[in-house]
Amino acid sequence: MTGPLSGLRVLDLTSTFSGPYCTLMLADLGAEVIKVEPPGGDIARQLGAARTPGMAAVFLNMNRGKKSVLLDLKAPADRAAFDRLVPAVDVLVHNMRPAAAARLALTYDDVRALHPAIVYCAIPGFRGTSRHADRPAYDDVIQGASGIARLQSVNQEQPGYVVTPLADKITGLTASTAVLAALRHRDATGEGQRVEVPMFDTMVAFGLLEQLDGWTFDPPTGPPLYPRTAAPNRRPYATADGHLCVLIYTGRQWERFLTLVGRADLLSHPDYDTVGKRIANADGLYRVVAEVLRRRTTAEWLAELSAIDVPCAPLAGYEEILREEERDGSGLVSIVEHPVAGRLRSIASPIAMSASPLRAGRLAPTLGEHNDEVLAGGGTEGSSG
């Protein structure tokens, strides 16, 4: 396998979304990811559409490029096999609660005793030192607790969840970055370490980056809400025959757009004559955009706005995107043949690297598919088969 992380070995004890997304990023970059699954496998094997038992869509997409080892860590023989495997890897990742990790003797101290230089990454719902450390947490819970779900209610009556497991995937991305930083530290010092990336902390920090706004200052100068993204008229704009997504951002872009639509008078309006004022009063300008775009078709506006270099794109759904990918052949989505699940669409990494190019790895594994290869036939008696 090629890729910048070729030669790196990762022991993956994660399940569902947050941890598997972290290790997916590492696998896409060339790491050998060994997914240790309990009897019955990762629950994601049952999530979403499926043609074959244990090979549902979510698992197939989230675990491509990984190897699967089936071990019951409560069984002595399997635990011995696991303990022998630990010194042979560089990284261990799990997304258990602290108490669950302790019950399985998988704390940092337990693992470090087997491999002092290991990079150990824990992805809990809440920070291990907080009073919520052992509360169960999934994406919806964290979206709510971290402010993301309430943020969605700014322009609608009810709070709502983002319609993708955003907290899981943002935390997984953050954890993959943290793992790489810890590996850089180990390369420089020879020292392993414990890395913790809690979902709650990650999403609060993620959301507050711009939403902290007036609360950036002490005392606050305004509410913790960024006015541009909270503007009621910030939405895909209706055209004469559909919808268009437009973001006019810079002074030059506003000048070109407002001149094009005959509203150059707004360029000198006291509410809009600086960047700061345009952000603070964004909804007024967005209302003008909404009114104007209704007058012509999506295709007409795409041509007009592209000609003056204003960022825009037609509103698309996933089926449209997938059909366009199949037609244009960009390589982001391809048709592959899985030995068990059959003919599938496979998502490629969006990362392109010139000196260490990524190559499509193996497809998602069946449960325990790599026991013999990884464990060399040792420690697999009993439940692991």
With beta carbons less than 8 A apart as the criterion, state whether 40 and 71 touch: no
Which pLDDT does position 309 carry in this prediction?
97
Residue 379 has pLDDT above 50, yes or no: no
Which pLDDT does position 382 carry in this prediction?
37
Q: What is the pLDDT of residues 161-203, one digit of tens each?
A: 999 999 999 999 999 999 999 999 999 999 999 999 999 999 9
**Would you call the peptide bond into 39 cis, given omega within 30 degrees of 0 as the criterion?**
no
**How does residue 4 score in pLDDT terms, banded at 50, 70 and 90?**
very high
Residue 39 has pLDDT above 80, yes or no: yes
Domains defined for the chain, CATH in brackets: 9-206+349-384 (3.40.50.10540), 237-314 (3.30.1540.10)
Residue 384 has pLDDT above 90, yes or no: no
d(C-alpha 297, C-alpha 366), whole Å: 49
Q: What is the pLDDT of residues 335-366, one digit of tens each?
A: 999 999 999 999 999 999 999 998 877 899 99
Residues 6 or more apart whose CB falls under 8 angstroms from that of 122 comprise: 94, 95, 96, 98, 101, 108, 128, 194, 195, 196, 197
Neighbours of 380 (CB within 10 A): 20
Which pLDDT does position 196 carry in this prediction?
98
Residue 246 has pLDDT above 70, yes or no: yes
Residue 292 has pLDDT above 90, yes or no: yes
Residue 150 has pLDDT above 80, yes or no: yes
Residue 377 has pLDDT above 70, yes or no: no
With beta carbons less than 8 A apart as the criterion, state whether 65 and 33 touch: yes
Task: Over range 218-233, report the average pLDDT.
Answer: 96
First to last CA, the chain: 27
Q: What is the pLDDT of residues 56-108, one digit of tens each?
A: 999 999 999 999 999 999 999 999 999 999 999 999 999 999 999 999 999 99
Residues 6 or more apart whose CB falls under 8 angstroms from that of 252 comprise: none
Model pTM score: 0.93
Say what percent of the chain tops pLDDT 70. 97
Candidate from 11-20, 281-290, 318-327, 356-365 with smallest mean pLDDT: 356-365
* Amino acid, single-letter form, for residue 365: P
Which pLDDT does position 362 carry in this prediction?
83
Which pLDDT does position 197 carry in this prediction?
98
Tokens 């007024």 correspond to 284
Q: What is the mean pLDDT of the chain?
A: 94
